[in-house]
Chains A and B, each alone.
Chain A
Amino acid sequence: MTDTTQNSAPDTRLEVLKGFWRHFKTNRGAVFGLYFFIVLVFIAVFAPLIAPHGATVQYRDALLVPPVWMDGGSWNHILGTDAVGRDLLSRLIYGSRFSLFIGVVVVSVALVVGICLGLVAGTFRGWIDTVIMRIMDIILSFPSLLLALVLVAILGPSLINAMIAIAIVQQPYYVRLTRAAVISEMSREYVMAARVSGVRTLRLMFVTVLPNCMAPLIVQAALSFSTAILDAAALGFLGMGAQPPTPEWGTMLAEAREFILRAPWVVTFPGVAILTTVLAINLIGDGLRDALDPKLKRS
């Protein structure tokens, strides 16, 4: 036999991962984002050990204390305190838990529901496809935050309801991506080959086709993770998300609104926390897209 296999090609899942990491590494912003995200996860997991104070403990003798580098600041409250004397740093540290929790829950719910609907629409086509896609079009035709606001107004303001609302607002994107990928995969010959060897529709959808559609979905998941955090913060700011005294970053912003001139640090730090987290996750998303999308892959 003249044709031989190249032995340099990846053989195991580990080596596939290694190849992925090699592509991912070329994007320095993405690597930086990943490190930041890992630190953030670490902080969130070990919040009670790291935070110098409790998240809701009020120090009545230290209201609106400025951060340590400003006049009147103290090492006791490194980033200062808010209007009722709660330590800002501790609240931010505990707040990272909520932000990550929101991101994970919203993305998982939107991803699972979106993939199922997209698979059904892309596999069966016909009227079921039309019905699903028109509903998604209707959801997409509303400004997303406004729709989330209306949903929360109907469900009642709380963090869980805000997450449900954001997940509903986000899942049309997953449905569209999945459907498009499934339709293009369904016309490939390996799908027909699978049918001939007796693969039933359900197995065809989830085992044969879905793994080949995952790359754009992973990228979308990473990017909408940050959107979810941002939307939740916006809902919190409008008083429709997490309710005080929950140390959610958006809610903290809302509480600090009236002190924006007198004690700017109370508004600044939650804002900076949201900004850096969203930025880091977006950078990771960009890096994932570069590494997973074969069209953009530099070899």
Chain B
Amino acid sequence: MAEDIILEARDLVREYRSKEGMFGKVNVTRALKGISFKLERGKTLAVVGESGCGKSTLARILTLIDPATDGDLLIEGKKIDIAKQKITPDLRSKVQIVFQNPYGSLNPRQRIGDVLTEPLMLNTDLPAQERRDKAMEMLVKVGLGPEHFNRYPHMFSGGQRQRVAIARALMLNPKLLILDEPVSALDLSVQAQILNLLADLQEEFNLTYLFISHDLSVVRYIADKVMVMYFGEVVEYGTRDEVFDNPQHEYTKTLFNATPRADIAHIKERLARTG
């Protein structure tokens, strides 16, 4: 096999069950209806879709927070099922996640230094001094300084917090980073800084990204491959250029047309379409 697959999903299904009252019938909501894809090492796969299409559910399954109801998840060729096996520190350090909201993803009572050293403390047996050194090193790598080590999250701006969140995710040297809309809570200039940082880090650590987003311009900038999701199903999956230049599915076309564009031809076309 020529290509180096780091993560593979085969027909992932996730169902949420909710009961109406004590004796009511069980409602089954299928958030994911059989998702399959392969992720190549060092590449970026962008997952695009509207709210509620199962993007975050997918992220939770891939980061081993929730188990999949059905289907297989393979990390570096090995089958993972967290319902049956315990998650080892080794497994933990393969996949990490950066959340959308930098204001909610950092514990307000935890110093930045503790945020960064905690994953090491729990998953490795490095001595305290070494953990500290690694955290300092990582702070510099994400564009912060050692002087930020003892500060609390509320003293940082949104962009800085997102840098901290990225640093935390990288502390365990993961191979795969799930980015759950990492820039959508930030303003435009900071978005660009964070995206550049992510690109630099990808090169430096040979990271693989799964980039969840609804912002198509960001996706076009960062993605190698694009997967479009619609109501828990993959409706489009291909390289960036394939998907952007020649969208196959009706939903993808609608999605691209929803991106604001200012040229007159486009506006006329849209008006003709909606009547």
Q: Which among A2, A5, A200, A211 has the greatest number of chain B C-beta atoms within 10 A?
A: A5
How long is the Cα–Cα vector from A67 to B63 in the complex, in angstroms? 75
Nearest chain A CB to B256 CB, angstrom units: 30
How long is the Cα–Cα vector from A195 to B189 in the complex, in angstroms? 31
- Flag if B104 contacts A189 (CB, 8 Å): yes
- Flag if B106 contacts A190 (CB, 8 Å): yes
Asked if A195 meets B65 with Cβ closer than 8 Å, knowing A5-B151, A188-B104, A211-B109, the reply is yes
Asked if A193 meets B165 with Cβ closer than 8 Å, knowing A9-B154, A198-B123, the reply is yes
How long is the Cα–Cα vector from A217 to B268 in the complex, in angstroms? 61
CB 8 Å contact bits of A1-45 with B (1 = contact, 0 = none):
111111001111000000000000000000000000000000000
How long is the Cα–Cα vector from A9 to B160 in the complex, in angstroms? 15
Q: A198 contacts which of B89, B100, B165 (Cβ < 8 Å)?
A: B89
CB 8 Å contact bits of B84-122 with A (1 = contact, 0 = none):
000101001000110111001111111000000011001
How long is the Cα–Cα vector from A5 to B157 in the complex, in angstroms? 7
Nearest chain B CB to A201 CB, angstrom units: 13
- Flag if A212 contacts B108 (CB, 8 Å): yes
- Flag if A196 contacts B65 (CB, 8 Å): yes
How long is the Cα–Cα vector from A77 to B119 in the complex, in angstroms? 66
Q: B109 contacts which of A5, A12, A189, A212 (Cβ < 8 Å)?
A: A212
How long is the Cα–Cα vector from A195 to B107 in the complex, in angstroms? 12
Interface size counted on chain B using CB atoms at 8 A: 40
A68 contacts partner chain B, Cβ-Cβ < 8 Å: no
Question: In the assembled complex, which residues on chain A have CB atoms less than 8 Å from the CB atom of B155?
Answer: 5-6, 9-11
B27 contacts partner chain A, Cβ-Cβ < 8 Å: no
- Flag if B109 contacts A198 (CB, 8 Å): no
Question: In the assembled complex, which residues on chain B have CB atoms less than 8 Å from the CB atom of A196?
Answer: 63-65, 92, 96-97
Nearest chain B CB to A86 CB, angstrom units: 50
Question: In the assembled complex, which residues on chain A have CB atoms less than 8 Å from the CB atom of B65?
Answer: 192, 195-196
B190 contacts partner chain A, Cβ-Cβ < 8 Å: yes
Residue of B nearest to A208 (CB): B107
Question: In the assembled complex, which residues on chain B have CB atoms less than 8 Å from the CB atom of A84?
Answer: none
- Flag if B99 contacts A193 (CB, 8 Å): yes
Nearest chain B CB to A212 CB, angstrom units: 6
7 tightest Cβ-Cβ pairs between the two chains A and B: A197-B119, A3-B157, A189-B105, A189-B104, A198-B122, A211-B109, A9-B155
Q: What would 5 A/B residue contacts be, using CB atoms closer than 8 Å?
A: A3-B157, A9-B151, A190-B107, A196-B65, A197-B171
B-binding residues in A (CB < 8 A): 1-6, 9-12, 188-190, 192-200, 203, 208, 211-212
